[in-house]
Structure 1
Amino acid sequence: MNDAVIREDELQILLNSLDEINVTYPLYEGDILVARPEGIGYSLDLLASRETFQGWLAEYEPIAAELPNYADFLECMLASGVARYANQAAFDAMLTSYGQLKKAVFFGLDTNLFYHGFATNNPEIDHASYLIVETVRDEIAYAINRKYPAKKIEEMVAHAPGLRDYIKELENKRMKRSRKAAYLALKEYRIIRDRATEIASPGPHTHLTEENDRNIVKALRKFEEERYALPVLLTADVYMADLCMAEGLEYFYFDRPYRLETTTCTAQGFRRLLFNLAAVFGFVGCNGFAVFGEYGGKGNDLDELKVRFFDDETYHEFTRELEICRQLQKLGIER
């Protein structure tokens, strides 16, 4: 057994050596998805349905809250750009109409849009057009640093003793909610914060979602009153959409797909998906090796992963290729 710490883009070295990629979660029986090279990208066979995840979770009911569910899988698919909103085309059309207005249009991102990697997946929108209400930033920050106590890890090990080596890697590391906040929402926030406009919230961040939502809407309404501009709240939360309607704030509600179908994606999209799954789930299995998003000894670099090899030959072949690529990169040469 050998481990290698790599960055997200270096996953491609591993993927390039595989004809068929079977992605699993070690505590569950069966594949989550199967990816096959197709052209310059991949075709994805999404084998695990909402009902499949429900069946898996039923076997671990006492610890189910910390195990991946279908909503987590969907969030990873959206964040990687592999899945799109059901009404994405309607938004694209509305975006075109906004461009014809005389007044400037700004887009306020609800917290859930950061988890979905919205800005990254919609590069046609200038980052300077985004508004970030302090409440949204605070909601992300509040969720980041919840860590597993040793007692919780032992409880999880008790329900899956054969996977102790996997689960123990999570001790004193981020819990599921915090993993999602750090690896999805925080990373997205960092991408746009330098050019986006942060606006003050009329009230402090609270632990009440409804109060936070009202503060976000009020902040955007105030922005509209003070500027000759149109703020549009982008959200995937039905309650928030209703609140916008009641307050007279322009909004667009994104409809998440209920069921994911077989699809295709770019090589970069699949690499991001595998990274997101490892980060949000904590770890995943992939063709006889394991990919850890969280693991003992990991620092603050959110782009790092650990790959565990159970075959010496595969490990040595991979590390040889990895070293060659790193040396070429230092020389400014793309392989």
Structure 2
Amino acid sequence: MTFSTFLSDVADWMDTQLTLLTQIGYIPSYKPKSSKPSPKLLEDEEGWIALIEDVWTYIITCRAKYKGKGIVKAFMIILIDTSGIEVKDGSFKKSSSLAKQNDAKPAPALLKAHELLNVIEKKHMCADHKKPCLVWNDGTHYKFTTSDLAKWAHLASIHRANIDEPPNELNLTDSIKHQKTAKKMIAESEPPLWIQQMMGVVMGGMVARNNNAVNSSTPRSLLSWSQDGHPPCSPGLRQPYKCATTSSPIDYPDVTIWLDGLESNPACGWKQSNYTRYGAALAEHDIDDLSNLVRLKPEKLEELGGMTHGMANRLLSFAMDDIQVLQEHGKFARLE
């Protein structure tokens, strides 16, 4: 999930406009408690990656305790709208004038900016990336961020910019450097699959459904984790297994090789699970590749593999994840 996709989903859940989501901050619940917490701004793709890495570091640190048997306590990421909040000596004070503006009906200029935002998006839509882009003379594509588009639309609404060329106020030279840095970080250290899926359900705790929801400074829970440190069992997280519909056959990995991959993966081989011990038992029942394994019910896998019910559920969960990635991309990281 990209930062732009995340903001779009947040806007849908909150039933609000993207132009009102340019000053979102977040507070992880696992940070030291404070009566006056200071949120970090979530402004661009680089900040989005920093959030993912922060969560991942916390999980790894928790698991490393007690000789690798540490448990990740349940936590959440709280979103806060920082617009209209003044930071003084670490405290938050909402200015009365801004509070009145937030409570009032949207001004005509804001509505016009929202309309212009749609026009700008359509005019600069890139067929290659399926999102608004700026194409330089050398063929390089810069993907406009939601913040870029919102600022551009606002400037156009007050006649300080046109919809054909991005305004100088966007500082695109600096933005391009940040975007290249973010891409490099993603390429060099992509988070594990289940971390990426976790980010796909960050809107699970958000139920705000009114026009003023985004202007409220009330914390909203985004991520909820189970006591054992695994992502929550949510319909948005675990998609039911579906047979591939691609024209070319998929080469499903051998179960024993796949179990070896789980054992060597730090995100899966925790608590010395020793997944490889089940390979021989499954092979005896002709459960030889991942497509056979994923069709079993937990109770049947428990019986055939001689494992606990919890282990059967865990293996099927990992298998469903990898099947989905395999069908979509033709490969998955556990075997690379």
The structure number with the bigger radius of gyration is 2
Which TM bucket (shorter chain)? under 0.3
Between structures 1 and 2, the one with greater strand share: 1
**With structure 2 as the length reference, what TM-score do the two structures score?**
0.22
Q: Which has the higher contact order (CA 8 A, sep 6+)?
A: 1
**With structure 1 as the length reference, what TM-score do the two structures score?**
0.22
